[in-house]
């Protein structure tokens, strides 16, 4: 399948620590995404800083780095037709208070910063973010 049919996600520390990992993976799989690669890990502050480097000018950057390195995460590459856009619809708006009912952030997120999941915003970033965590040999 063409790499543009892939997206990248993380289940964030608030969701793993609250015990939502299984429920979130279940929603992702039932929505038709195939797991290409997946790992349960934790980011150092330095790694979180590199991952979110595109946000370094934003006022919440330091808090984001601290939060994303505060606990375990699940990183995964997902495959589906129209993966990037369909996954953004499945997770809902950045602020869970504005996320559509039934979306992953609406169901599981705590706040605009601790918002349960990451989803790539473009095919280009999906490829960059996936390569941050996985080598080609780890994608199946
Ligand atoms: P997205 O995750 O919906 O693509 P982005 O604007 O790319 O949202 O922001 C990246 C992450 O930074 C968000 O998922 C959230 O964890 C955090 N974030 C975004 N906006 C704010 C904010 O206004 N305050 C605190 N954290 C924020
Ligand atoms: Mg984003």
* CATH assignment at residue 109: 3.30.70.141
- Expressed as residue numbers, the domain containing 44 is 3-139
Pick left, alpha or beta for residue 60 (phi over 0 → left; psi -120 to 50 → alpha; otherwise beta).
alpha
Residue 118 falls in the annotated catalytic set: yes
**pLDDT of 53-63, one tens digit each?**
999 999 999 99
What is the number of domains present in the chain?
A: 1
Per-residue pLDDT of 105-137, as tens digits, reads: 999 999 999 999 999 999 999 999 999 999 999
Share the mean pLDDT of the chain: 97
∠ CA 16-88-65, nearest 5°, is: 50
Ligand closest to 55 (CA) is 1
Residues with CB under 6 A from ligand 1: 55, 60, 64, 94, 112-113, 115, 118, 121
* Alpha carbons 20 and 51: distance in angstroms, whole number: 23
pTM for the predicted model, two decimal places: 0.97
Q: How far is CA 134 from CA 37, 117, 131, in A?
A: 7, 18, 5
Whole-angstrom distance, CA of residue 49 vs CA of residue 54? 9
Atom 19 in ligand 1: residue holding the nearest Cα: 113
Using CA positions, which residue lies closest to atom 26 of ligand 1? 113
């Amino acid at each position: 399948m063409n790499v543009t049919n892939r997206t990248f996600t993380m289940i964030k520390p608030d969701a793993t620590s609250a015990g939502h990992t299984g429920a979130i993976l279940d929603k992702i799989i039932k929505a038709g995404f195939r797991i290409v690669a997946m790992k349960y890990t934790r980011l150092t502050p330095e790694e979180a800083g590199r991952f979110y480097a595109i946000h370094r000018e934003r006022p919440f950057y330091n808090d984001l780095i601290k939060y994303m390195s505060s606990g375990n995460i699940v990183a995964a590459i997902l495959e589906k037709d129209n993966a990037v856009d369909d996954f953004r619809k499945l997770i809902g708006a950045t602020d869970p208070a504005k996320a559509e009912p039934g979306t992953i952030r609406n169901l599981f997120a705590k706040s605009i910063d601790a918002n349960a999941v990451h989803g790539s915003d473009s095919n280009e970033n999906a490829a960059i973010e996936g390569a941050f965590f996985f080598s080609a040999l780890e994608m199946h």
